[in-house]
Amino acid sequence: MKEKIPTTTVLIWDDMLRSTKPNKWHFTSNNTNLEPVYWDYSPKLGISHLNLLNYRRNFRNIWIASAFKGADGKTATIPKIRDRFQNHFSWLKLILNYKFGGESKVYNFKGIILTGWSRYTHMDPPCELLPVAIPSLVLDLILVKKFIAGLELDATSIANADIDDFFNVHVSNEYGKGLKCNTDFVIDLENILNCYFESRELYSLLHRYEQLKAGISLVFNTDDIPLFSCEYYASKKFIEKTHLIENINWCENAMKELITIEVALRENMKMYYKKRVIDEYLIYKTYSLKKNLEVILKALNSYKNTFVWNRNPLLGNVSD
């Protein structure tokens, strides 16, 4: 990079530096265009002040990195907006009036990078889509702007501030106006559905998908409706038929709702993504749900017209 553009400053994610031993820092002596980015995407930071001190001693500047999306799990569909806000709030509280040991001057961090990862690795499936993360990004940008502009609070008050109180006093009004929210806003996924932004329809569809997914998982794993085991018992020709039709109807309705959501998502995503991305995302999100529903429906239907049962084939002889 330096050979092609000598004046370029290269930013490196600091996890590759965290285990560097004290006698191994000589590689930084001639790298004046190399600067570390200390990243932590968790709501409650786990910062090593020793690592920060090492960066202070060996680099011209230190950056920090937060996350407005792409940090709530590989399978996340919608950012956990409260956790994302907490992550930024924790970072901004930390760097406000930050001083290294033995120094009286407040350290001026070079900048904050608001990351929004699309995948955890190149080989992982996509996590939250950018359009549905816009509310999270807007919220965190407003927060950063408030800190840059300065707050009429001393450092101690900010350090002890409750996240909800801080949001209500300093952020809520501007955020509600920016997203055209028709209710008093709280930091909550459901509440965003009361706001109006360009990608709201996509957000609503994915929220609907998440509710359906959770509902299917609940029914599959509820003891009162043991659908997760019906394939096995159907193969042994031993199945409870009392709620058979009811369970078949539930599976068919769940499949119908899943396909309806998939069709709507495919159409809506066309304004943001190419077909290749849409296909990958929708197959990834719906394949296992469809497969499970199909397997259970097949097992249930195989027993729908059975009127005669032998004794429980799994019990063997009574005397055993």
Query: Mind listing the pLDDT tens digit for each residue in 277-316?
Result: 999 999 999 999 999 999 888 888 877 765 555 555 555 5
Token pair for residue 208?
Answer: 């609907």
Query: Is residue 49 predicted with pLDDT exceeding 70?
Result: yes
Query: Is residue 58 predicted with pLDDT exceeding 80?
Result: yes
In this prediction, what percent of the chain has a pLDDT beyond 70?
A: 83
Q: Please report whether residue 307 resides in a domain.
A: no
Q: Please report whether residue 308 resides in a domain.
A: no
Q: What is the dihedral of CA 196, 200, 205, 208, to 10 degrees?
A: -40
- Residue 230 and residue 279 in contact, taking contact as beta carbons nearer than 8 Å: no
Q: Please report whether residue 99 resides in a domain.
A: yes
Residues 238 and 223 reside in one and the same domain: yes
Residues 214 and 78 reside in one and the same domain: no
Domain boundary residue, one of 180, 198, 216: 198
> Angle formed by the axes of helices 275-302 and 244-269, to 10°?
170
What's the rounded Cα separation, in Å, for the pair 6 and 33? Answer: 9
Q: Please report whether residue 314 resides in a domain.
A: no
Give the domain extent around 174. Answer: 10-198
Bridge-based pairing state of the strands 63-69 and 10-13: unpaired
Q: Please report whether residue 317 resides in a domain.
A: no
Query: Is residue 70 predicted with pLDDT exceeding 70?
Result: yes
What pLDDT, on the 0 to 100 scale, is given for residue 185?
A: 64
- Residue 63 and residue 112 in contact, taking contact as beta carbons nearer than 8 Å: yes
Token pair for residue 68?
Answer: 């407005």
Residues 102 and 134 reside in one and the same domain: yes
Residue partners of 235: CB distance under 8 A and separation at least 6 = 299
For residue 282, give the H/E element and its range.
Answer: helix 275-302
For residue 10, give the H/E element and its range.
Answer: strand 10-13
pLDDT in tens, 99-120: 998 899 999 999 999 999 999 9
Q: Which of these, 184, 192, 235, lies nearest to 82 by C-alpha position?
A: 192
What pLDDT, on the 0 to 100 scale, is given for residue 236?
A: 55
Bridge-based pairing state of the strands 34-39 and 63-69: parallel
- Residue 104 and residue 162 in contact, taking contact as beta carbons nearer than 8 Å: no
Q: What is the dihedral of CA 195, 196, 201, 205, to 10 degrees?
A: 0
Residues 225 and 161 reside in one and the same domain: no
What's the rounded Cα separation, in Å, for the pair 121 and 255? Answer: 31
Residues 112 and 255 reside in one and the same domain: no
Residues 232 and 178 reside in one and the same domain: no
Measuring CA to CA, how many Å separate 258 from each of 72, 190, 279, 283?
A: 23, 20, 15, 12
What's the rounded Cα separation, in Å, for the pair 91 and 59? Answer: 20
Residues 186 and 72 reside in one and the same domain: yes
Query: Is residue 318 predicted with pLDDT exceeding 60?
Result: no
What's the rounded Cα separation, in Å, for the pair 161 and 134? Answer: 25
What pLDDT, on the 0 to 100 scale, is given for residue 97?
A: 87
pLDDT in tens, 152-207: 666 666 777 888 888 888 898 899 888 888 766 666 655 788 888 999 999 999 99
What pLDDT, on the 0 to 100 scale, is given for residue 159?
A: 72
pLDDT in tens, 221-243: 776 655 655 655 556 555 666 67
